Amino acid sequence: PKSRRSKEFICTISDDRGEEAHYCGYPISSVATPDTGFTIGDVMSILWFKKRYPRWAVDFLETVLKTVADHGPAVSGAHNAKVTARAGKDVISSLIAGLLTIGPRFGGAIDGAAKYFKYAEDNKLSPKEFLAYMKKEGVPIPGIGHRIKSLKNPDLRVEGLKKFAKENFPSTPLLDYALTVEQLTTSKKENLILNVDGTIGILMVDMWRSLAYSDEEIDVFIDAGALNAFFILGRSIGFIGHILDEKRLAMPMYRHPMDDILYDVQKAPEL
C-alpha cells in the first residue's frame, strides 16, 4: 500500500479546492445571494457549528449579534478603540485594541455564565447553594451585575432576548433557573441583575439543548469559547463604527487629563 504523508492541518468546515469554495458543503454561490434563503445567521451556524439550524435558532443568533453590536462610546472596548484610533492607528490595530478588553468583566462573561449556571442546574443547586458555591470558588458570578443597569434601570436588551426566547424557543429551563438566582442576587443589591452576557450564555445552552446537543457537546463549545465569540463578532461592528467616527471627525491624539489622576509616587529613598 502507498504510504500517505501525514497532514499538518485538518479542516472540517470549508473547502477551497475546485472551481468554487464551499462552506460546510454549500458552494458560496448557494449561500451568498439573498434569493437562496441563507442569512448571515445560517452562515454562522454552518461555519461555527457545522449544522444548518432551524429558523428560530438562526433568528436567535442574529438577534444576539444585533443586540450586542454597540453600547455607546464609554464602555471599555469602545474607549480603547477610540483612543487607539486617535493615536493615529489603523482600523485593524484600533479594532484589536478594543477587542482585547473583552473578558471576564466586560462582554466576555458569556462562556462563564453558561458554564456555572449549567453546573448549578445540572447539580440541582438551589439559588442559595449556588451563591455559596460561587463564593467558595472566589469569583463573581459571570452573567450577574452591571455598572449602570439595575432593577430600577432595567436593561432592555435583556428584556428583548428573554421575550424572543419565550416566544420562539421550545423551552427555556436554564433561563427559568437563572431568573430564580437573579431574584436572590437583586435582593442583596439592586444592580446584581442577570446581565446581557448572562442572558446570552444561558439562552444558548437552552437553544442547544432544544437542538438535541448532548451535555458533552455543549461543554466542548463552552470550553472552546464559542459563546464569547458572539460578543466578539457582534461588538466588532460597533468598534469599527467608533473607529470610523474618529477618522471622520479627524480627532486629535487623546491625552488623559492629569487632574483626573491621583499621582501617589513615593520619592526614591536615596534622594
Residues that bind ligand LMR (CB under 6 A): 71, 75, 107, 147-148, 196
Nearest distance from residue 23's CB to ligand ACO, in Å?
A: 29
Residue number of the CB closest to ligand ACO reads 145
Cβ-based nearer residue to ligand LMR, 38 or 143: 143
Q: Of 90, 38, 79, whose CA–CA distance to 61 is shortest?
A: 38
Determine, following the binding rule CB under 6 A, whether residue 241 of this chain makes contact with ligand ACO. Answer: no
Out of 127, 145, 201, 234, the residue judged to bind ligand ACO by CB under 6 A: 145
The least distance separating ligand ACO from the CB of residue 88, rounded to whole angstroms, comes to 28
Report in angstroms how near the CB of residue 71 gets to ligand ACO at its nearest. Answer: 7
Q: Which is nearer to ligand ACO, 31 or 178 (CB)?
A: 178
Does 107 engage in binding with ligand ACO (CB under 6 A)?
yes
In the set 64, 192, 207, 240, which binds ligand ACO (CB under 6 A)?
192
DSSP the chain: -PPPPPPS---SSEE--SSS-EETTEEHHHHHSGGG---HHHHHHHHHHSSPPPHHHHHHHHHHHHHHS---SSSHHHHHHHHHHHTT--HHHHHHHHHTT-BTTTB--HHHHHHHHHHHHHTT--HHHHHHHHHHHTSPPTTB--SS--SSS--HHHHHHHHHHHHHSS--HHHHHHHHHHHHHHHH-TT--B-HHHHHHHHHHHHHHHTT--HHHHHHHHHHTTTHHHHHHHHHHHHHHHHHHHHHHTPPPP---GGGS----PPPTT-
- Tell me which of ligand ACO, ligand LMR, none is bound by residue 141, counting a contact when its beta carbon lies within the kind-specific cut-off of 5 to 8 angstroms: ligand ACO
Q: Which is nearer to ligand LMR, 41 or 108 (CB)?
A: 108
In angstroms, rounded to a whole number, what is the distance separating the alpha carbons of residues 85 and 95?
Answer: 9
Q: How far is the CB of 268 from ligand LMR (least distance, A)?
A: 39
Number of residues that bind ligand ACO (CB under 6 A): 20
Which residues is 14 bridged to in the sheet? 23
Q: What x-and-dash track marks residues 2-41 binding ligand ACO by CB under 6 A?
A: ----------------------------------------
Contacts of 16 (CB under 8 A, 6+ apart): none
Stretch that binds ligand ACO, among 22-30, 43-51, 100-108, 169-177 (CB under 6 A): 100-108
- Residue 144, binding choice from ligand ACO, ligand LMR, none, Cβ under 5 to 8 Å by partner class: ligand ACO
- Give CA–CA dist 23/43, Å, rounded: 8
Residue 192 binds what, of ligand LMR, ligand ACO, none (CB under 5 to 8 Å, by partner type)?
A: ligand ACO
143 binds, among ligand LMR, ligand ACO, none (CB under 5 to 8 A by kind): ligand ACO
Q: How far is the CB of 255 from ligand ACO (least distance, A)?
A: 25
Which residue's C-alpha cell is 428584556? 159
